[in-house]
Copies of this chain bind each other. A is one copy, B any other.
Amino acid sequence: MKRTPHEPHEAPGPRLEPDARRAHLLAVGVSVFGTKAYDDVQIDQIAQQAGVSRGLLYHYFPNKRAFFAAIVQLGYDEILAATQPDPALPPEAQLHAGLQAYVGYVVGHPHMYRAIFRSAASLEPSIQAVVNRNLELQAQRILSAQGIPLVPHSPTHVAARSWLAFLIQAVLDWLDQGATASRDDLIKVCVGALDGAMRAAQTLPCRA
């Protein structure tokens, strides 16, 4: 693909403050990583689309991996913020509200969701570390909402982490089907899986 020169109408301009510039670059990155496989993404293309030089992009993110890691972290931050539990609710209602908010986030940000979960699973340790840290935060929330203490590698801990993988697969499939099927049905299947896994896990001794 030929590189077009810096086009003024695409440029948000040098007037952007660093935070705004960084946010703009991430937003462009989300749209690109959300629609292409990681390997097929070219940093040059993102810079071009954002209306900045390659050099400026590298000023914010030293390489493609670092850029992608920042996108993944942003996505997790947004999901965690969107699904903040209300501890005043009983556990079941917290879970339902959390899942409604989660699916609502996905519907509003399908590119981001696909980018972080389709592209993030493999790749190298720095991305894996981001994925794992956030998986862990979400697992803690799930256990905490159900009043189950977090015991690392216990059956309930494994159940919570694995259920998050269930949820992601279910939501990705649902997105791939155009997100037209019933949101409530999707949530019911996910709740069923969590209930079944937790019920089984809670009958077991504390180390899985």
Contact = CB atoms under 8 A, between A and B. Distances in A.
A198 B191 CA distance: 11
Interface in A165-203: 165-170, 173-174, 177, 181-182, 185-186, 188-201, 203
B159 A193 contact: yes
Q: Most B CB atoms within 10 A — which of A119, A120, A125, A208?
A: A208
Contacts of A197: 166, 189-190, 192-193, 196
Contact of A199 (B118, B196, B198, B208): B196
A77 to B, nearest CB: 21
B155 A189 contact: yes
Interface stretch (A35-43, A54-62, A105-113): A35-43
Given A165-B165, A165-B169, A208 B181 contact: yes
Interface of A is mostly: helix
A142 B124 CA distance: 32
Nearest to A186: B208
A156 to B, nearest CB: 9
Contacts of A169: 161-162, 164-166
Given A161-B173, A185-B204, A195-B200, 18 more contacts: A37-B125, A118-B121, A122-B123, A158-B173, A158-B189, A159-B189, A159-B192, A162-B166, A162-B167, A163-B193, A165-B165, A181-B207, A182-B204, A188-B203, A192-B199, A193-B200, A196-B196, A196-B199
